Structure 1
Amino acid sequence: MGEARVSVVVPSRGGAARLPVLFEALTKQDFADPWEVVVVLDGVVDESAQVIDRYAEQLPIRCIELDYNMGRSAALNAGFAEATGDILVRCDDDLVPSISYLSLHATAHRAGPVGAVGLYRNVYPDNSYARAYGRDWDVRFRQQAYSTPSDQRWRYWAGNVSVSRDTWASVGPYDTSFRSYGWEDVDWGYRLHRLGIPVVLEPELETVHRIAATTTVTRSQRAFYAGAAKRHFEKKHDVSPSASGSGAWNSIVRVAASRLNEPGVSKVARVVDSLTNRLPPGAARKLIALSVESAATAGYAKASNEGLI
């Protein structure tokens, strides 16, 4: 395989059911230049390699298999090290790219060095969590992101982003010390920002995301371990902790968090999920928010940076 114009790097673990949807979307791309997909299997735990083999004739695809679960940062680094493209795209294995996905990522870099971000358009099952909280949160998240000052947009570096090869070399690899859930992306975006390279949110690059956190339980568990990753980020960069506020809501969150540990987060969230269908929408939304926010606060104080990788 020769050099590509665009390389799409896909970190994956246990993705045999997710990868075909991504691959089908990539077979429909309108991009005319050479491109490639580099899939990194972070430990072999299912039939993902066989799925990749089935698409080898339809896609310019390569597979890297790590010997064991080394974490998302290590998987990304392995993929980017093997990529040949001038434009390097990070694409999570649960995305459903549009027909112009590659063209839009390539176009974003024509005017000079930037970090291009496409926000997620999360797709939820029709359950009580989605109706009471998830879908509304998703809309508000995107609205907030687009209104964020340009010098703070590094916070949205995530699983649908791209940079030039030269920019990647300047920033360096993802930090493998982020072993808990999340923040390895935010860390990379922050390092990009510190080099003076603008991070831009491209509305046209919003991409359907088949989100995994579809219940209060899964969302709260991830929030708990993301709290530990946030603590690790702040310590690494000597960043002052974000103020939690002094209002009544923040006081309630802090009190709830003080009584939570890892098993308690899951136990409380299961109760919340069981109650959501029985409560008025406003009350259900508040209860889910309390579960998620108190889990994040508890995780910041108590969780290990090794959890839920």
Structure 2
Amino acid sequence: MTRSAMPPVSALTLARGRATHLRNLVIGLTRQTRPPSELVIGVMQEDLYDDLPATSFPVRQVRVRGRELPLARARNRVAEAAHGEVLAFLDVDCIPAPKLIADYARMVGPSQGLSMGEVLYLPAGAAAEGWTYDRFAELGVRHCDRQGPPEGDRRRCEDYRCFWSLNFALHRRDWDASGGFDTRFVGYGGEDTDFGRSLSERGIPIWWVRGARVYHQYHPHCMPPIHHIPSIIRNAELFAQKWGHRTMEHWLHAFRMMGLIEPTDAGLRILRAPDAEDFALCRQQEDMPYAASGRVMRLLQDRARAQAGLPPDDASPKVRQARLDRGQREMLTPAGRAPFAAE
């Protein structure tokens, strides 16, 4: 496909606060080898952003109201407002590499499915004023729990649960066929896995692609996200009502290991609010480009053995992970239903 024949690409993002992150995202879009046809921002707060960098392309802001994060509704809203043939969704804390728009314009076509680009995580301070892509390439690291780029241009993602809403694109025709995000999911967690499941059910393929890279800006975060337990539980139970089993089981198992929740015949129940010790365990530190639930769950395994008076676990990483996997599977199935068999 020649440059002139490439379809117009609408860049889409959602924002609440995060003004510095949003400015860096816009700066990244101004440095593209092929600019987007527009940027549409789903503003999940009362005030619009009034200090954005100058661009050669239109920037439009659309308000999406809701006290809890209306992520599903906001993604639908920016897609509806967009004019481009290709819809490129970027989280607000992502800075697009110079070829992201060109890569998606080249790789995404009608009825070809959804493409997920590369992500590298930056340490604290890397995206300070005056940042450069050379510095990002030097400092960026891949997430240990996430799939890396394929050896070729693309590889089919065979498990919808791996859909990653941080950086993805699809053609308008596939977006319309997907039905969009389910707006019953409100707050943090689950709406993206539900969207991936909907794609799978409708026969719309998901692809890992090489290129279309973003650099994730550092910000303090907890993983597992103990600051979002109520919405995660609510959305996990909604997912179960819809599909027959819960999702986000790794987070749910971590919450149970921490004594924060328990499964009951009536559903998941919150036992207590996270305390300072819980936040200290889960909070991302400045020397960590990203936070990972697996790290916390392995620490919890070690803590449980110590509290039981058992010696340190000398099992192989594979065996330890198998134990965690069993615990996670237990959180998938609500009471009274047959055990869920992973696809």
Fold shared per TM-score above 0.5: yes
Q: Tell me the secondary structure at the aligned position of residue 274 of structure 2.
A: helix
CA gap of 1:113–1:154, structure 2 versus 1, over 3 A, is farther
The aligned residue for residue 29 of structure 1 is 32
Match of 2:19 in 1: 16
Distance 1:211-1:225 versus aligned 2 partners, 3 A rule: farther
Q: Which of the numbers 43, 46, 50 marks the counterpart of 2:45?
A: 43
What amino acid is the match of 1:27? T
Aligned to 1:6: 9
Is contact 1:73-1:174 (8 Å) kept? yes
Tell me how far 1:145 sits from its aligned partner: 10
Whole-angstrom distance in 2 between the partners of 1:203 and 1:41: 30
- In the other structure, the counterpart of 2:196 is 189
Shift of 1:40: 1.4
**1:66 pairs with 2:69:** no
Deviation at residue 258 of structure 1 after TM alignment: 4.8
Any stretches of 5+ residues in structure 2 without a counterpart? 1-6, 126-139, 263-268, 287-294, 304-323, 335-343
Partner of 2:299: 287
> 1:198-227 deviations in whole A, cap 9, x for unaligned?
1001132342112545356x7432467434
Structure 2 matches for 1:97-246, cutoff 5 A? 97-110=96-109, 112-125=111-124, 138-142=143-147, 150-215=157-222, 219-222=225-228, 225-239=231-245
- TM-score (normalised: structure 1): 0.70
Query: Residues of 1 paired with 2:92 and 2:104: CA distance?
Result: 17
Paired positions, count = 271
State the superposition RMSD in angstroms.
Answer: 4.3
Gaps of 5+ in 1: 127-134, 245-249, 278-282, 302-309
Instruction: Specify the alignment match of 1:131 in structure 2.
Output: none
Question: C-alpha separation between the residues in 1 aligned to 2:156 and 2:72?
Answer: 27
Could you tell which deviates more after superposition, 78-87 or 60-69?
A: 60-69
Q: Deviations over 1:114-173 (max 9, x none)?
A: 1101243222439xxxxxxxx999224335999x98330453231211111111111122
Give me the whole-angstrom Cα distance separating, in 1, the residues matched to 2:44 and 2:229: 22
Superposed CA offset, 1:254-296 (max 9, x none):
584557947532433235369x99xxxxx988326889x999x
1:280 corresponds to which residue?
A: none
Q: Distance in 2 between matches of 1:258 and 1:12?
A: 30
3-state SS of paired residue (1:75): helix
| Aligned twin of 2:74 | 75
Going from structure 1 to structure 2, the CA distance change for 1:158 and 1:211 (only over 3 Å counts) comes to farther
| AA aligned opposite 1:167 | D
| SS state at 1:264 partner | coil
Cα gap change, 1:252/1:12 in structure 2, threshold over 3 Å: closer, same or farther? closer
Q: Which residue of 1 aligns with 2:311?
A: none
Matched residues in 1 for 2:75 and 2:271: separation? Answer: 28
**Cα pair 1:7 1:86 within 8 Å, conserved:** yes
| 8 A contact 1:89–1:160 mirrored in 2 | yes
* 1:32-84 per-position Cα deviation (integer Å, ceiling 9, x unaligned): 6x611111111225xx52024x53x4432111123554611121121111101
Amino acid of the residue matched to residue 272 of structure 1? L
- For 1:8, what is the secondary structure of its paired residue? strand
Structure with the bigger percentage of helix: 1
Identity of aligned residues (%): 17
Cα 1:107–1:290 change in 2 (3 A) is farther
- Larger radius of gyration between Structure 1 and Structure 2: 2
Could you tell me which amino acid in structure 2 is paired with residue 43 of structure 1? Q
